[in-house]
Structure 1
Amino acid sequence: MTTNVVVSEQPKQLRFKEYKRWLRVTLYTILLLTGQCTATLLGRLYFDKGGKSRWTASFVQSAGFPILLPLLFYSQKHAKSTKHPNIDSCKTKPKPSMICSFYLAFGLMMTAMDLLYAYGLQYLPLSTFTLVCASQLGFNAIFTFFLNSQKLTALIFNSIVVLTISVALLAINTESEDTKHLPKEKQIIGFFCSLAASATFSLHHSLLQIYFEKVIKTETLSAVMNMNFYPMLIATCGGSVGLVASGDWKNLQTEMKEFENGRVSYVMTLVWTAVMWQIACIGMLGLIFEVSSLFSTVIGNLELTITPILAVMGFGDKICRVKVIAFLLAIWGFLSYIYQHYLDDQKNKENRSNGLEFSKGEEQI
């Protein structure tokens, strides 16, 4: 009699857990889209209104990490209070030196990625920049196939093809009314730096998934905050070294004086860029361990379909026919990914349902 009650309660418990999980996924999605979209627009505003230092633009992408200290302390305190000695003792914990080496590697990777993104933002119109960054989906599909055992389905392959065509169209049409004031060489540099940043970003995501699944083998708030905070600290140090070594720090006062919107606007642009990137990173890491690196990249690419529209409204970017075609192809690739995730989710639900029915049958026997 007791067994039947326990079994009947299992579907309710599973539904409640699934509901809580998707609430978290929704929250992380909002954080990622809001933070990434706002930070990208502010990054373009910095260069548009007189900013010239790529190392400054790179530095602020990670320099906001101190605002996460309260959340970091809370997550560690919560992890200690909920720690189960019997369960934790069964797990083989990685050595601190190994974890530190991962933090260092991810931090240096972020430094390079931030600098590449800064080149792209400086040398390309925002609408073109975001469309090139849509190639993250294609790169992520390749990296997850080789590193995360992600199946390369027909829908994902379709996305790779259309996104490649989209990027190729932009590559052969870099010159537009928005970039006539820039030399052709700088436009090409901006294009390939954006492409390289997208590849680095996707590799970063896939390696993060390996880190969570294979190295620390845990999916907790503490693990997410640690992987956000410490690599950001390393990336900030790397950005500081670059800022000093390049000599850009000497020109910060001059930049502030010459900024079109004034000194206060200059400071607030950099400060809020730093803050919004931190919000975006929390959302990104949350989606990685709640779902997968592929899903996190898909949601991040949704911002790349919103920003070109905002760029036309806020910065007066020109939308030529090539950009329209590239934009439609990017949407096509994005929807293909979303539909593949829908199919995977339905299949997982069926598997869980079949497993539950099987367990009920065993209990009755």
Structure 2
Amino acid sequence: MAETQLQLVEITELETNSKENSIDQPSCVDRTRKTPSRDYKWWIRTVLYTVFLICGQSLATLLGRLYFDKGGTSKWLASLAQIGGFPVLVPLYFFILCRNPTLESDSPPFVTAFLKVYVPLGLLVAGSGYLFSVGLQYLPVSTVTLITASQLAFNAFFSYFLNSQKFTASIVNSLVLLTISSVLLVVNNHTEKPAGVSKGEYAAGFICTVGGAAVYGLMLASQQLALRKVLKIQTLKVVFDVIIYQSLVASMATVVGLFASGEYKGLKKEMEEYALGKVSYAMTLLWTAIGWQVFAIGTVGLVFEVSSLYSISVRTVGLPIVPVLAVFVFHDKMDGIKGMSMVLAIWGFVSYIYQHNLDHQKSKIENRIVSEIADEDWSPADNRA
């Protein structure tokens, strides 16, 4: 119950929860006494999920590019590395179940949740992973990461229809800045084509990266909708359910693509000819998978605690870290256009965070007013009764 009351996105939901609590808890002193601890725990979780998202994204993106840079060629295998690492979360998942057993009577049956939530989300994850793999193969990693800033705009668009996302001046300003940031990279395309990549491949990489951003934005908006309207029970277990089962579906779809495309036939030769050796080949894929799972925990956690738009905004602000690291790791160029694109991406994120802070303060005021009204309606006579 306390977990449900921590949602800060829809004020109407908060008002409803507060009214219900006024009936279940006769003492207003008890309710106000719990609020500081809930806020404190919420911030701890939000910061932790943010660290997971940024660190996991940076590590996995760099290793994903390293795979192609040192001789890897299988886009389907690279996609599988993005989503196939979910088994490492299973021990932690069972540890959570043992430490925090919960009754989830309101949650839908597993088959219903699997067909309505995990299968659609898993297919979207698989599609997004493949499109990003194409981008990493044909584009510099710095360009790929900056293009993904457009995910925020796509997510806002889909959230408007799926989650009734409100558009304020600050959010619109944020989306415009992020769009301009991506457009600048289009203008800068001709100056940074990797060696051995044709113009057609470069264009395909750019289009697939934008497409991957769009699919990922749709996936996060759908994820938020599923968490609130279908799964309903919002616990840490549900966060791991979403990650594990959607990753399972996405992995199965990717394995089908790997075998259907015939790329599996060249994997043995690819490993033997990998520039860093067989062990490094395996470790690159392994740590790529682990990095993306850490990223997934942060992403779904922030969707659960705040909203899909906030989650994707945090990912956006973490994007400039990768191009800076890519300058040292892959010797990518950091010219004026790319630097300006990075500044605009950060500016757009800050603009959204500002609006989120305003919404958070407004929700606290609305929640306090509703609580005070409920306290007035609850008289001592009602308590004795």
Do both share a fold (TM > 0.5)? yes
Deviation at 1:71, TM superposition (A): 2.3
Q: Which region of structure 1 is more displaced relative to structure 2, 189-198 or 314-323?
A: 314-323
Secondary structure at the aligned position of 2:190 is classed as coil
Correspondences of 1:203-218 after superposition (within 5 Å): 203-218=218-233
Per-residue CA distance 1:173-211 (angstroms, 9 max, x = gap): 212245253211111111111111111111111111111
2:332 counterpart (302, 317, 327): 317
Number of the residue aligned with 1:83: 103
Return closer, same or farther for 1:98/1:10 CA change in 2, 3 Å cut-off.
closer
Correspondences of 1:68-217 after superposition (within 5 Å): 68-78=89-99, 81-83=101-103, 88=105, 91=106, 93-101=107-115, 102-217=117-232
Distance 1:183 1:120 in 2: 13
Q: Does 1:287 pair with 2:302?
A: yes
Q: Does 1:56 pair with 2:87?
A: no
Deviation at 1:359, TM superposition (A): 4.2
Deviation at 1:66, TM superposition (A): 1.1
Number of the residue aligned with 2:58: 37
CA RMSD of aligned residues (A): 1.9
Distance 1:302 1:177 in 2: 23
Distance 2:158 2:123 in 1: 19
Deviation at 1:75, TM superposition (A): 3.7
Deviation at 1:361, TM superposition (A): 4.6
Q: Residue 316 of structure 2 contacts residue 345 of structure 2 at CA under 8 Å; is this kept in 1?
A: no
Amino acid at match of 1:99: A
Number of the residue aligned with 1:246: 261
Distance 1:305 1:221 in 2: 29
Distance 2:278 2:110 in 1: 44
Q: Which region of structure 1 is more displaced relative to structure 2, 318-327 or 187-196?
A: 318-327
Q: Residue 75 of structure 1 contacts residue 225 of structure 1 at CA under 8 Å; is this kept in 2?
A: no
Amino acid at match of 1:42: L
Runs (4+) off by over 6 Å: none
Number of the residue aligned with 1:221: 236
Distance 1:360 1:233 in 2: 47
Distance 2:302 2:113 in 1: 21
Q: Residue 136 of structure 1 contacts residue 198 of structure 1 at CA under 8 Å; is this kept in 2?
A: yes
Distance 1:114 1:27 in 2: 24
Q: Which region of structure 1 is more displaced relative to structure 2, 169-178 or 210-219?
A: 169-178
Per-residue CA distance 1:4-54 (angstroms, 9 max, x = gap): x94344333101111111111111111111111110110011111111111
Number of the residue aligned with 1:273: 288
Number of the residue aligned with 2:49: 28
Distance 1:167 1:299 in 2: 17
Deviation at 1:217, TM superposition (A): 1.0
Distance 2:248 2:187 in 1: 38
Distance 2:102 2:73 in 1: 48
Distance 1:96 1:257 in 2: 43
Return closer, same or farther for 1:184/1:178 CA change in 2, 3 Å cut-off.
closer
Deviation at 1:360, TM superposition (A): 4.7
Q: Residue 256 of structure 1 contacts residue 266 of structure 1 at CA under 8 Å; is this kept in 2?
A: yes
Deviation at 1:287, TM superposition (A): 1.0
Return closer, same or farther for 1:8/1:230 CA change in 2, 3 Å cut-off.
closer
Distance 2:377 2:260 in 1: 68
Return closer, same or farther for 1:177/1:170 CA change in 2, 3 Å cut-off.
closer
Number of the residue aligned with 1:260: 275
Number of the residue aligned with 2:346: 331
Distance 2:192 2:139 in 1: 11
Q: What residue ranges of structure 1 are gaps of 5+ in the alignment?
A: none
Q: Which region of structure 1 is more displaced relative to structure 2, 250-259 or 192-201?
A: 250-259
Per-residue CA distance 1:159-178 (angstroms, 9 max, x = gap): 22122222122123212245
